[in-house]
Amino acid sequence: MTENIFLTGSIVLFDENLSDLDGTINSFLGIPIANKKLYLIDNTTENFFEYVFVHENIEYTSNEKNIGFGSGHNRILNKISEISDYHLILNPDVSFEKSVIPNLILELKKHQNVAMIAPKVLFPDGSHQYSCRRYPVVIELLARRFKILKHLFENKVFRGEYREKELSKPFFAEYLTGCFQLYKTADFVKLNGFDERYFLYMEDVDICKKLDILGKKKLYYPQEQIIHVLKQGSLKNVNLFLNHLTSAIKYFLKWGF
């Protein structure tokens, strides 16, 4: 099934937990597909990760500055367009079993109009992350950030996370969060990757909107699962919160409120 498949993946690196990152990289290297390459895209100014992870299936790229999440992943668009059949967008804090990617690829092959697939996402303690969502509205994003609003608009958050659906069954979601997105490479390249106007946050929502325009679907497939640490940095760090706010403003100005 995988002999003639070439799988690529990319991780954008900045201030990472090396233990979590090691788990992510080993998960990718353990995928039972012979033809694969993982691109490590270093956004640190000091090229910190150049010699931390060295392997024949890893290619290191340095930006020598923090160019952001989407721009980082886009650095290797030309490279994957020449070799890759499927491309995996990875956060540096996820882990998964060897069978996950081959099974997701099998499912992607069944659907000509599906460009991207993502599995069920769990926290390290085994609890559920609501990683498949409806497109956000302003009040929902605010309710996620401020407890007083979350209580008042709990129904908005509830609906935004598809909590009324049977989440143990596959369905086509409006958007799938960017910690783990497996694309048919041709579709990802046709989109020109992520919109680089977003430095951090909302680029995963934006690219799902772009797929809609392309006439392609996104499949949530909970028959496979991954573990995601989920730092939720914008809830704890003022600068990251401002990045999130700026990206949200850009998103709504682009796509409408």
On whether residue 256 sits in a domain, the answer given is no
- How many Å apart are CA 127 and CA 103, to the nearest integer? 22
Question: How do strand 114-122 and strand 175-176 relate by DSSP bridges?
Answer: unpaired
| 25 phi, psi to nearest 5 deg | -65, -45
Render pLDDT for 84-131 as a digit per residue (tens, 0 to 9). 999 999 999 999 999 999 999 999 999 999 999 999 999 999 999 999
Render pLDDT for 195-245 as a digit per residue (tens, 0 to 9). 999 999 999 999 999 999 999 999 999 999 999 998 765 555 788 889 899
On whether residue 244 sits in a domain, the answer given is no
On whether residue 153 sits in a domain, the answer given is no
- How many Å apart are CA 184 and CA 187, to the nearest integer? 6
Domain count, the chain: 1
**pLDDT value of residue 201:** 95
On whether residue 239 sits in a domain, the answer given is no
**pLDDT value of residue 64:** 94
Nearest one of 101, 164, 92 to 133, comparing CA atoms: 164
More confident residue, 67 or 239: 67
On whether residue 36 sits in a domain, the answer given is yes
On whether residue 253 sits in a domain, the answer given is no
Domain holding 214, by residue range, is 6-135+165-230
* Band of pLDDT at residue 144, cut at 50, 70 and 90: confident
Residue 2 predicted with pLDDT over 80: no
On whether residue 247 sits in a domain, the answer given is no
On whether residue 150 sits in a domain, the answer given is no
Q: Is the dihedral of CA 27, 30, 33, 37 positive or negative?
A: positive
Residue 44, domain CATH: 3.90.550.10
**pLDDT value of residue 235:** 55
Render pLDDT for 165-201 as a digit per residue (tens, 0 to 9). 999 999 999 999 999 999 999 999 999 999 999 999 9
Q: What is the pTM of this model?
A: 0.94
Contact 143, 153 (CB under 8 A): yes
Question: How do strand 175-176 and strand 132-133 relate by DSSP bridges?
Answer: antiparallel
